[in-house]
Amino acid sequence: MRAEAVSDLVPYAATAREQVVRAIEGALRVDEHAAVRAAAAIALADTKAVEALPALLLAVEDVDPYVRQMAITALGEIGDMRATGRLRRALSDERPEVRFQAVIAFPRVCAQQADAIEAVMQATHDDDPLVCHIALRMFEELGESGGELPPLGMERARALLGHASPLVRAAAAVVTARFGDPVGHPVLAEIVGGKLHGVDHEDEAAAIELCGELGLAASRSALERRAFGLKLGFGRDPLRWHARVALARMGHERAIREILSELGAWDRHRRTLAVAAAGRARLSAARAAIAAMRGDERKADQGAVEEALAVLASEVDA
């Protein structure tokens, strides 16, 4: 109940910030139960409570590993560079779960991108595959913020395509492909075809998306199987939406036809998914139907509508 109460306080920070932050910080410092302290760390992140920085820095040494992780996560979310020194030390912590969270948090508080790149690069050599994997994901984040992946980062990502862990190989393939290097395309096709096991769900979804974006013909039959399943509807894939979008991006007639058809579905949720799919697949034929939903929350989620229309407009401008 106390953990839920801490979480429920967050919306009230807009009108009573001082009292809310003080209460949450107190829970982080003194509550006897780890679940409450962890909830408090998350709540301080949600409120961007820079004034609670000292309490969060202390919580990085909490006796409970999950509280330590959430404290580091909060420091990264708040993004105050005063946490740089503590997070730098956490990068070499003997506990892999602490290193994992530090790899995510450190680049977000670091003032110099060169320092962030160096830290992430070092983490790609970590003995723990999970730490190495998240370091690759952070390379992606750093590359997106700067427009391109640093040359040393791309070189390291290429090398990790041969890593013993499929988790790491998949992330390396996504990173290299996303920044224009085709060396990992065969690994993407393996992921989409289900031949590489133990892959992170987000990386699998990204691989499917990239195959569509890049028009990888080698992945077409696997995408069809994932998008449309087997006869009589058996074998439905949890990433079938992503596969259908990828196929539509490649000009697949059935995938395009189904997405356009579902823009007129009776169910609002299905219409919203179709709007998002049409935008992601760059289906200019869907523009008028999506524009007709604008301003009417009953027809589709308006965030999805505006996002799809913006993408389609940019395609026309290009």
pLDDT digits (tens, 9 = 90+) for 95-118: 898 899 999 999 999 888 888 889
Reference 271, options 294, 243, 248, 254; nearest CA is: 294
Measured CA to CA, the distance from residue 286 to residue 276 in angstroms comes to 11
Mean of the per-residue pLDDT values of the chain? 92
- Per the listing, tokens 């992503």 go with 242
Is residue 87 within 8 Å of 57, Cβ to Cβ?
no
* Domains, the chain: 1-111 (1.25.10.10), 257-318 (no CATH)
Nearest to 263 by CA among 247, 274, 279, 252: 274
Given a cut of 70, whether residue 318 has pLDDT beyond it is no
Mean pLDDT of 185-205: 95
Band (232; pLDDT cuts 50, 70, 90): very low
The predicted structure's pLDDT at residue 234: 53
Question: Residues 28, 61: contact at Cβ < 8 Å?
Answer: no
Contact 276, 283 (CB under 8 A): no
Tell whether the model's pLDDT for residue 199 goes beyond 60: yes
Predicted local confidence at residue 230, as pLDDT: 57
- Choose between 150 and 157: higher pLDDT: 157
pLDDT class for 152, splitting at 50, 70, 90?
confident
User: What's the confidence (pLDDT) of residue 61?
Assistant: 87
Higher pLDDT, 149 or 2: 2
Give the model's pLDDT for residue 236.
Answer: 76
pLDDT digits (tens, 9 = 90+) for 250-305: 999 999 999 999 999 999 999 999 999 999 999 999 999 999 999 999 999 999 99
Degrees to nearest 5, angle at CA 229 with 226 and 233: 150
d(CA 284, CA 290): 10
User: Does pLDDT of 146 surpass 60?
Assistant: no
DSSP state at residue 15:
H
106, 123 contact by CB (below 8 A): no
**Integer Cα distance of 149 and 127 in angstroms:** 23
What is the rounded distance in angstroms from the CA atom of residue 83 to the CA atom of residue 105? Answer: 9
Q: Is a pLDDT exceeding 90 seen at residue 184?
A: yes
Average pLDDT over residues 59-80: 92
pTM of the model: 0.84
Tokens read off for 287? 């523009």
Q: Quick one: what percent of the chain has pLDDT higher than 90?
A: 81
